[in-house]
Amino acid sequence: MSTQPVSTDAAAVKAADRAHVFHSWSAQGLIDPFVVAGAEGSYFWDHDGNRHLDFSSQLVNTNIGHQHPKVVAAIQEQAARLCTIAPGFAVDVRSEAARLIAGRTPGDLDRIFFTNGGAEAVENAVRMARLHTGRPKVLSAYRSYHGATAAAINLTGDPRRWPSDTASAGVVRFWGPFRYRSPFHAETEEQECERALRHLEDTIVFEGPGTIAAVILETVPGTAGIMVPPPGYLPGVRALCDRYGIVLILDEVMAGFGRTGRWFAADHFGVVPDLLTFAKGVNSGYVPLGGVAISAEIAATFEERPYPGGLTYSGHPLACASAVATINAMAEEGIVENAARVGEDVLGPGLRELAERHPSVGDVRGLGVFWAVELVRDRRTREPLVPYAATGEANAPMAAVTAAIKAAGVWPFVNMNRVHVVPPCTITEAEAKAGLAALDEALTVADRYAA
């Protein structure tokens, strides 16, 4: 018999939530959380059976879909065998998870430091880079998100850092490439790439290369707008890092493990970083897990000298068991290939077609199951549907669009003036088409605000 406090009373669940759960990134008195009763595949539902097609993958992490039976079984089996063991021990599931991850990461990123999520991975990658180089500074992009812990939020460019940005010593921000809102006033992709690289090199030179430990970049920036970089950009950044002895950290917490239609987004660009951070898709968030994949050269720094960092739950057996099952299922079931195919055949063409018909759509961009729809008031001026970092009344148009999408049975990931279409990598073509049809209907709400 189950001893879990499973409730079928949605009102009681919500009342207890409102009384006792303190929610992330929220004014506690202004939220009205949706009560979830269950989930499977590409859908989740409430206690009345109202289903939503999950176009958010929760926080862009359930790449393998909800309740994948192989992953659920692996967690159950591991729970029966060994629930917890300190990080200092060697244990089969941890070794196997590390071996499988190292086998998929690009180049010689063959050592895995496990964390419980993305921000901790970023914290540790930065610590490794600083100790490896003996230099203090880290360069990060304005349009970025790297996590909510102390160092990670300071490396973050997006406005969530503003209230916490009191101690950004050692962090210097630069502009990455973004054709639609070019910080370089470029007219072509090639110009954008060239100018973005020149800007980064100028930043390095003026900061003093000998003071810079690392450049950290999301391979394809996610929360900040899914901006696929021009083909030459990341190879150019790699060359700059090599020239100045700077560690290149690629943050693939969101873009990794199939999201872009390849195992890692770096695979699209033929670039091997020195450190790669991952989380989310590694086990689709079934149990908290993240980590840093470490190059042979950086791993060698800590062969004789201890690495001064660790976490009680590093390489947790339940998390590792779910990672092993996830990675094996993704390979066996062609899930990464499915993400690529759905992106190419359905989401890309479908979203571009919506852009032609809806005056509120300024831009669509992405790859795999990683797409952003940027909403504007005026296509010509590209004025965003809501101002940057708008809240409250100023954000009302986006709140209305979001409500319309949800009312049409789809749950999107929305950030600022963008609707992100980020379903599980397992989504079928028919589900993706159904989601686009709902989006089509909901975008008429956005069109009312557009010129």
The residues, ordered by sequence, that sit 6+ positions from 399 with a Cβ below 8 Å of its Cβ are: none
Cα–Cα dist 185/440, whole Å? 31
State the minimum distance, in angstroms, from the CB of residue 449 to ligand PMP.
28
Cα–Cα dist 321/71, whole Å? 8
DSSP bridge partners of 219: none
State the minimum distance, in angstroms, from the CB of residue 10 to ligand PMP.
27
Return the range that interacts with ligand PMP (CB under 6 A); candidates 40-48, 225-233, 248-256, 393-401. Answer: 248-256
Binding-residue total with ligand PMP (CB under 6 A)? 16
Cα→Cα distances 69→51, 172, 325, Å: 20, 45, 10
* Closest of 265, 281, 259, 261 to residue 340, by C-alpha: 261
Q: Please, which residue, 350 or 366, has the CB nearer to ligand PMP?
A: 366
CA 223 to chain centre: 7
Q: Please, which residue, 194 or 218, has the CB nearer to ligand PMP?
A: 218
Q: Please, which residue, 54 or 201, has the CB nearer to ligand PMP?
A: 54
Q: Please, which residue, 222 or 384, has the CB nearer to ligand PMP?
A: 222
State the minimum distance, in angstroms, from the CB of residue 276 to ligand PMP.
11
State the minimum distance, in angstroms, from the CB of residue 149 to ligand PMP.
7
Return the range that interacts with ligand PMP (CB under 6 A); candidates 96-104, 239-247, 250-258, 421-429. Answer: 250-258
Residues 197-236, interacting with ligand PMP (CB under 6 A) = 218, 222-223
Residues 42-81, interacting with ligand PMP (CB under 6 A) = 59
Start-to-end CA span in the chain (Å)? 60
State the minimum distance, in angstroms, from the CB of residue 25 to ligand PMP.
11
State the minimum distance, in angstroms, from the CB of residue 51 to ligand PMP.
25
> In the structure, how many helices (H) and strands (E) does the chain have?
15, 16
The two structure tokens encoding residue 38: 């269950």
Cα–Cα dist 352/187, whole Å? 21
State the minimum distance, in angstroms, from the CB of residue 446 to ligand PMP.
24
Residues 292-311, interacting with ligand PMP (CB under 6 A) = none
Q: Please, which residue, 59 or 437, has the CB nearer to ligand PMP?
A: 59
Site for ligand PMP (CB under 6 A): which residue of 41, 118, 258, 317?
118
The residues, ordered by sequence, that sit 6+ positions from 352 with a Cβ below 8 Å of its Cβ are: 364
Asked if 119 touches ligand PMP (CB under 6 A), the answer is yes
Cα–Cα dist 363/351, whole Å? 9
Q: Please, which residue, 279 or 414, has the CB nearer to ligand PMP?
A: 279
Q: Please, which residue, 223 or 426, has the CB nearer to ligand PMP?
A: 223
Cα–Cα dist 234/322, whole Å? 31
Q: Please, which residue, 24 or 28, has the CB nearer to ligand PMP?
A: 24
State the minimum distance, in angstroms, from the CB of residue 160 to ligand PMP.
10
Residues 138-167, interacting with ligand PMP (CB under 6 A) = 145-147
> What letter does residue 288 receive in the DSSP assignment?
-
Asked if 251 touches ligand PMP (CB under 6 A), the answer is yes
**CA dihedral defined by 321, 322, 324, 330, rounded to 10 degrees?**
160
Q: Please, which residue, 178 or 449, has the CB nearer to ligand PMP?
A: 178
Q: Counting every residue, how long is the chain?
A: 451
State the minimum distance, in angstroms, from the CB of residue 157 to ligand PMP.
11
State the SS3 of 309-360.
CCCCCCCCHHHHHHHHHHHHHHHHCCHHHHHHHHHHHHHHHHHHHHHHHCCC
Contact (Cβ atoms closer than 8 angstroms) between residue 426 and residue 57: no
State the minimum distance, in angstroms, from the CB of residue 119 to ligand PMP.
3
Cα→Cα distances 7→1, 96, 175, Å: 15, 37, 48
Site for ligand PMP (CB under 6 A): which residue of 228, 279, 329, 404?
279
* Closest of 12, 6, 340, 273 to residue 121, by C-alpha: 273
Q: Please, which residue, 347 or 422, has the CB nearer to ligand PMP?
A: 422
Q: Please, which residue, 257 or 449, has the CB nearer to ligand PMP?
A: 257
Q: Please, which residue, 213 or 253, has the CB nearer to ligand PMP?
A: 253
- The two beta strands, 370-378 and 361-367, are antiparallel
Asked if 431 touches ligand PMP (CB under 6 A), the answer is no
> What letter does residue 415 receive in the DSSP assignment?
E
State the minimum distance, in angstroms, from the CB of residue 362 to ligand PMP.
23
Where along the sequence are the contacts to ligand PMP (CB under 6 A)? Answer: 59, 117-119, 122, 145-147, 218, 222-223, 251, 253-254, 279, 290
